[in-house]
Amino acid sequence: MLRRITLLFFLFSSALPAAAAPFFGFTGEYGPGKKAVHTFTLAEDDVMLALLHSSKEGLPRYAAFAFTFPGIRFGSMTRQGLLKELELPAGYGQGSSVFTEPTGCFADYTPGKAAPQGAVFYREEDRRTDQLLLMLRPYPQMGSISGLTFGALSVQAAGLYSRPEKAEPQDSWFSCNPRVLSQGLFHGALETRGTFGPLTLATAAGFCLPRYSRQGFFLRFSGEYSSDLLKAEAAAAGCSETYLAPSGEAPDKVFRLGARVTIPETGRLKTVAGAAREVKRLSLLPDLQQGVTDQAEASLILDLPPWKSVFFFGRRIDWMSDGSGGITDTLRMDLKISFPAGSLAGELRVRKVDATEPALRGKLEASFTGDKLSLALSLVHDSDEGFSLGLRGSFKGSSCRFTAGGDTQGTVRAAFRLEEKG
């Protein structure tokens, strides 16, 4: 079986022009009481083949592939733009690439990833793009996408019909992520974006029309202002309680509001600060509580060539909207110092739930870069999981990369990648 797939790989890849550097990859995970998981990957130009062999319960075996030719893409796909928002309308914050990337399905060359599979027929012109989607996995789906550009104004529209598989019955009275069984769903979404000098504004709206349940909708507003003095980004998104994603599931996040300000380098210093609030759905019943997350973060970047230092501080608080339950307070501090021969990095997380003892997690990493060899050694201590040690390196001459690691639980992980020089 592997020989046949390898032969097909080289036959298809030989017909394509040279582009990205090809590579072969292998990853494996082993441990006491755990079954082995292996992933083999071959990739060259616009072709990718991956095999996953697993004896671990609940993790299927699969063979994935992706090909791109003029006018058609087929195989493993990744969703972008409005298609991601239809799955999780309130799941992306200010400055997210989801708001700016083109909408559609594109070939996914991620090694060993069980991505959605299907075919996309597309046409690209100077000011217009059209796509026809025919997806088979993980559930049947078909639709069309169009994009138009009028100077500083751009418009994207998407329409999808999905037929998700039946959900497995759950052993609980109330489901945190319910799914309406065996019904077709139609989704539509429209995004408009305009650029007016230093200001960019965008708005998106979408709806779902299930066959047997109530319709739902989502809204999103985002904006960005950029000048020599500062860069400001903001976004607000939310969906109705009755909204269902194309997968048939109700998104766990129903609202998100956030903003971020970046002050460009003044001398050698750059400052970034942001804050956000996120509301999660804990039940479809309106009388039950919702989970709320408040977070704030700030970064200071000091550039003194050939040295560069980055300090990050963040705080996150999780609580219930009705005041019940506990409050989880998480602090995070990172420091990274880069110099010509490598870098030193440290990370500290402190997590406390009400009056309980705080849980600590620390990480130290040192890296070295030479003419032919680069190495990185990491040490992690977690008060719940114990110690773990990792080694990562690459040989520039042969373009060979490897990683290895283990922990006090007895789990060993290893990966190997051989890449042809481009």
304 and 159 part of one domain: no
Would 206 be classed as within a structural domain?
A: yes
194 and 281 part of one domain: no
Structure confidence at residue 69 (pLDDT): 80
232 and 113 part of one domain: yes
Query: For residue 375, is it left (φ>0), alpha (ψ between -120 and 50) or beta?
Result: beta
**Helix (H, G, I), strand (E, B), or coil: what is residue 87?**
helix
Task: Give the whole-angstrom CA distance, residue 202 versus residue 101.
Answer: 13
Would 221 be classed as within a structural domain?
A: yes
Of 314, 330, 362, the last residue of a domain is: 362
DSSP β-bridge partners for residue 418: 24, 400
> Where do the H-state alpha helices sit in 43-150?
82-87
130 and 212 part of one domain: yes
158 and 291 part of one domain: no
CA neighbor of 288 nearest in space, from 180, 169, 173, 208: 173
Structure confidence at residue 184 (pLDDT): 87
218 and 269 part of one domain: no
Task: Give the whole-angstrom CA distance, residue 167 versus residue 244.
Answer: 14
Which residues of the chain are modeled with pLDDT < 50? 1-21, 177, 421-422
Supply the DSSP symbol for 200: E
309 and 352 part of one domain: yes
Torsion sign, CA atoms 246, 250, 255, 259? negative
220 and 281 part of one domain: no
Structure confidence at residue 39 (pLDDT): 65
CA neighbor of 240 nearest in space, from 211, 213, 219: 219
Give the Cα-Cα-Cα angle 403, 407, 411 (nearest 5 degrees).
80
Cβ pair 49, 22 in contact under 8 A? no
The type of residue at 57 is: E
**Look-up of token digits 């999103």:** 220
Of 225, 250, 275, the last residue of a domain is: 250
Would 376 be classed as within a structural domain?
A: no
107 and 206 part of one domain: yes
Q: How far is CA 16 from CA 106, 336, 412, in A?
A: 18, 42, 38
CA neighbor of 272 nearest in space, from 301, 294, 293: 301
Would 292 be classed as within a structural domain?
A: yes
Of 219, 250, 281, the last residue of a domain is: 250
Structure confidence at residue 219 (pLDDT): 97
Cβ pair 104, 131 in contact under 8 A? yes
Would 418 be classed as within a structural domain?
A: no
Locate 302 and state its tokens: 């000091």
CA dihedral defined by 86, 244, 235, 268, rounded to 10 degrees?
A: -60
149 and 282 part of one domain: no
Cβ pair 112, 48 in contact under 8 A? no
DSSP β-bridge partners for residue 259: 234, 275
- Count, residues in the chain: 422
Would 242 be classed as within a structural domain?
A: yes
Structure confidence at residue 113 (pLDDT): 56
Task: Give the whole-angstrom CA distance, residue 401 versus residue 415.
Answer: 8
Would 55 be classed as within a structural domain?
A: no
274 and 238 part of one domain: no
Structure confidence at residue 117 (pLDDT): 85
pLDDT digits (tens, 9 = 90+) for 197-232: 999 999 999 999 998 888 999 999 999 999 988 999
Beta carbons within 10 angstroms of residue 75's beta carbon:
21
Report phi then psi at 322, rounded to 5: -95, 10
Peptide bond into 140 cis (omega under 30): no
Would 56 be classed as within a structural domain?
A: no
Structure confidence at residue 5 (pLDDT): 35
223 and 293 part of one domain: no
DSSP β-bridge partners for residue 395: 373, 400
pLDDT digits (tens, 9 = 90+) for 385-408: 778 888 877 776 555 666 677 666
Task: Give the whole-angstrom CA distance, residue 381 versus residue 394.
Answer: 25
Owning domain of residue 307: 265-362
CA 231 to mean position of chain CA atoms: 24
The type of residue at 406 is: G
Structural domain count of the chain: 2
